[in-house]
Amino acid sequence: MSDDRSLVTVRVVPADRPEVDALLDRYLDERAATFPVAQGSYSRKRTPAAEFVPPNGTFVVADVAGTPVGCGGLRRIADDGDDARFEVKHVFVAPEGRGRGVATAVMDVLERAAVELGATSVVLDTNDSLVAAGAMYRSRGYVRVPAFNENPNATAWYRRPVR
Protein backbone atom coordinates (compact mmCIF):
# COMPACT_ATOMS: atom_id res chain seq x y z
CA MET A 1 0.00 0.00 0.00
CA SER A 2 1.32 3.46 -0.81
CA ASP A 3 1.62 6.09 1.88
CA ASP A 4 -1.18 8.48 1.07
CA ARG A 5 -1.51 10.19 4.47
CA SER A 6 -1.01 13.49 2.67
CA LEU A 7 -4.27 12.79 0.83
CA VAL A 8 -6.26 12.67 4.09
CA THR A 9 -8.36 15.74 4.74
CA VAL A 10 -10.76 16.29 7.62
CA ARG A 11 -13.64 18.73 7.39
CA VAL A 12 -16.26 19.92 9.85
CA VAL A 13 -19.79 19.09 8.67
CA PRO A 14 -23.31 19.13 10.11
CA ALA A 15 -23.95 15.71 11.66
CA ASP A 16 -27.25 15.35 9.81
CA ARG A 17 -25.75 15.29 6.30
CA PRO A 18 -26.41 12.26 4.07
CA GLU A 19 -22.68 11.40 3.93
CA VAL A 20 -22.61 11.23 7.72
CA ASP A 21 -25.67 8.97 7.73
CA ALA A 22 -23.97 6.66 5.21
CA LEU A 23 -20.75 6.47 7.26
CA LEU A 24 -22.59 5.92 10.54
CA ASP A 25 -24.77 3.22 8.98
CA ARG A 26 -21.58 1.43 7.87
CA TYR A 27 -20.13 1.87 11.36
CA LEU A 28 -23.20 0.48 13.12
CA ASP A 29 -23.50 -2.40 10.62
CA GLU A 30 -19.86 -3.36 11.15
CA ARG A 31 -20.09 -3.15 14.94
CA ALA A 32 -23.27 -5.27 14.98
CA ALA A 33 -21.62 -7.88 12.74
CA THR A 34 -18.39 -8.07 14.76
CA PHE A 35 -19.67 -7.51 18.30
CA PRO A 36 -18.37 -10.20 20.68
CA VAL A 37 -21.05 -12.90 21.06
CA ALA A 38 -20.12 -13.36 24.72
CA GLN A 39 -21.20 -9.76 25.38
CA GLY A 40 -24.72 -10.23 24.01
CA SER A 41 -26.37 -8.15 21.33
CA TYR A 42 -25.01 -4.90 19.99
CA SER A 43 -27.19 -1.90 20.85
CA ARG A 44 -27.55 0.23 17.69
CA LYS A 45 -27.63 3.72 19.10
CA ARG A 46 -26.72 6.91 17.33
CA THR A 47 -26.09 10.16 19.18
CA PRO A 48 -28.56 12.83 17.98
CA ALA A 49 -27.04 15.22 15.42
CA ALA A 50 -28.09 18.20 17.55
CA GLU A 51 -25.49 17.23 20.17
CA PHE A 52 -22.67 17.90 17.69
CA VAL A 53 -23.38 21.61 17.19
CA PRO A 54 -21.07 24.39 18.44
CA PRO A 55 -20.58 25.57 21.12
CA ASN A 56 -21.40 22.14 22.55
CA GLY A 57 -19.81 19.94 19.92
CA THR A 58 -18.72 19.32 16.36
CA PHE A 59 -18.70 16.54 13.78
CA VAL A 60 -16.08 15.77 11.15
CA VAL A 61 -15.76 13.67 8.02
CA ALA A 62 -12.38 12.45 6.77
CA ASP A 63 -11.72 12.05 3.07
CA VAL A 64 -8.95 10.20 1.26
CA ALA A 65 -8.42 11.60 -2.22
CA GLY A 66 -11.84 13.24 -2.00
CA THR A 67 -13.80 10.14 -0.92
CA PRO A 68 -15.42 10.08 2.55
CA VAL A 69 -13.90 7.18 4.51
CA GLY A 70 -14.12 8.20 8.15
CA CYS A 71 -15.88 10.30 10.72
CA GLY A 72 -16.13 11.25 14.36
CA GLY A 73 -17.95 13.56 16.68
CA LEU A 74 -17.39 15.53 19.84
CA ARG A 75 -20.07 16.59 22.32
CA ARG A 76 -20.09 18.31 25.68
CA ILE A 77 -21.25 16.11 28.54
CA ALA A 78 -21.92 16.91 32.18
CA ASP A 79 -18.98 18.66 33.78
CA ASP A 80 -17.26 17.00 36.72
CA GLY A 81 -16.52 19.80 39.14
CA ASP A 82 -14.09 22.15 37.40
CA ASP A 83 -13.53 19.63 34.61
CA ALA A 84 -15.31 20.73 31.40
CA ARG A 85 -15.69 17.34 29.71
CA PHE A 86 -16.25 16.66 26.04
CA GLU A 87 -16.86 13.15 24.74
CA VAL A 88 -15.59 11.67 21.48
CA LYS A 89 -18.28 9.61 19.72
CA HIS A 90 -18.62 7.51 16.59
CA VAL A 91 -15.01 7.44 15.43
CA PHE A 92 -15.09 5.19 12.39
CA VAL A 93 -12.81 4.46 9.46
CA ALA A 94 -14.18 2.38 6.60
CA PRO A 95 -12.02 -0.60 5.57
CA GLU A 96 -10.84 1.18 2.43
CA GLY A 97 -9.49 4.04 4.56
CA ARG A 98 -7.68 2.03 7.20
CA GLY A 99 -3.91 2.17 7.55
CA ARG A 100 -3.75 5.68 6.09
CA GLY A 101 -3.77 7.81 9.24
CA VAL A 102 -7.48 8.64 8.99
CA ALA A 103 -8.34 7.93 12.64
CA THR A 104 -5.33 9.93 13.80
CA ALA A 105 -6.37 12.87 11.61
CA VAL A 106 -9.95 12.69 12.93
CA MET A 107 -8.75 12.62 16.55
CA ASP A 108 -6.34 15.52 15.93
CA VAL A 109 -9.22 17.71 14.72
CA LEU A 110 -11.62 16.61 17.47
CA GLU A 111 -9.06 17.23 20.22
CA ARG A 112 -8.23 20.70 18.83
CA ALA A 113 -11.95 21.47 18.67
CA ALA A 114 -12.36 20.37 22.29
CA VAL A 115 -9.76 22.90 23.42
CA GLU A 116 -11.35 25.62 21.27
CA LEU A 117 -14.76 24.82 22.80
CA GLY A 118 -13.38 25.14 26.34
CA ALA A 119 -12.77 21.52 27.34
CA THR A 120 -10.39 20.66 30.12
CA SER A 121 -10.60 16.95 29.31
CA VAL A 122 -11.78 14.60 26.59
CA VAL A 123 -13.39 11.29 27.42
CA LEU A 124 -14.50 8.35 25.32
CA ASP A 125 -15.70 4.81 25.61
CA THR A 126 -14.89 1.81 23.49
CA ASN A 127 -15.00 -1.96 23.52
CA ASP A 128 -11.88 -3.97 24.36
CA SER A 129 -12.51 -6.06 21.23
CA LEU A 130 -11.49 -2.98 19.20
CA VAL A 131 -7.81 -3.56 19.92
CA ALA A 132 -6.43 -1.05 17.42
CA ALA A 133 -8.74 1.69 18.68
CA GLY A 134 -7.72 1.11 22.29
CA ALA A 135 -4.04 1.16 21.33
CA MET A 136 -4.48 4.42 19.41
CA TYR A 137 -6.27 6.10 22.33
CA ARG A 138 -3.61 5.01 24.81
CA SER A 139 -0.84 6.19 22.45
CA ARG A 140 -2.53 9.63 22.46
CA GLY A 141 -2.36 9.85 26.26
CA TYR A 142 -5.80 8.56 27.18
CA VAL A 143 -5.88 6.61 30.43
CA ARG A 144 -8.48 4.11 31.49
CA VAL A 145 -10.99 5.46 34.02
CA PRO A 146 -14.11 4.13 35.76
CA ALA A 147 -17.26 4.06 33.63
CA PHE A 148 -18.79 7.52 33.20
CA ASN A 149 -21.89 6.35 31.29
CA GLU A 150 -24.05 3.28 30.88
CA ASN A 151 -23.20 2.43 27.27
CA PRO A 152 -24.09 -1.28 26.97
CA ASN A 153 -21.58 -1.70 24.12
CA ALA A 154 -18.61 -0.33 26.06
CA THR A 155 -16.12 -2.26 28.14
CA ALA A 156 -13.47 0.47 28.46
CA TRP A 157 -13.67 4.16 29.33
CA TYR A 158 -10.83 6.65 28.82
CA ARG A 159 -9.97 10.25 29.73
CA ARG A 160 -7.27 12.67 28.63
CA PRO A 161 -6.66 16.16 30.01
CA VAL A 162 -6.37 18.73 27.23
CA ARG A 163 -5.29 21.79 29.21
| Whether the predicted pLDDT of 62 surpasses 90 | yes
| Whether the predicted pLDDT of 2 surpasses 50 | no
| Whether the predicted pLDDT of 92 surpasses 90 | yes
Domain interval for residue 156: 5-161
Paired residues of 73 in beta bridges: 59, 89
Question: Count of alpha carbons within 13 Å of 35, Cβ hemisphere only?
Answer: 17
pLDDT in tens, 114-153: 999 999 999 999 999 999 999 999 999 999 999 999 999 9
- Say which CATH number the domain at 112 has: 3.40.630.30
**Would you call 155 helix, strand, or coil by DSSP?**
coil
pLDDT in tens, 102-113: 999 999 999 999
pTM, full prediction: 0.93
Instruction: Work out how many domains the chain is built from and give that number.
Output: 1
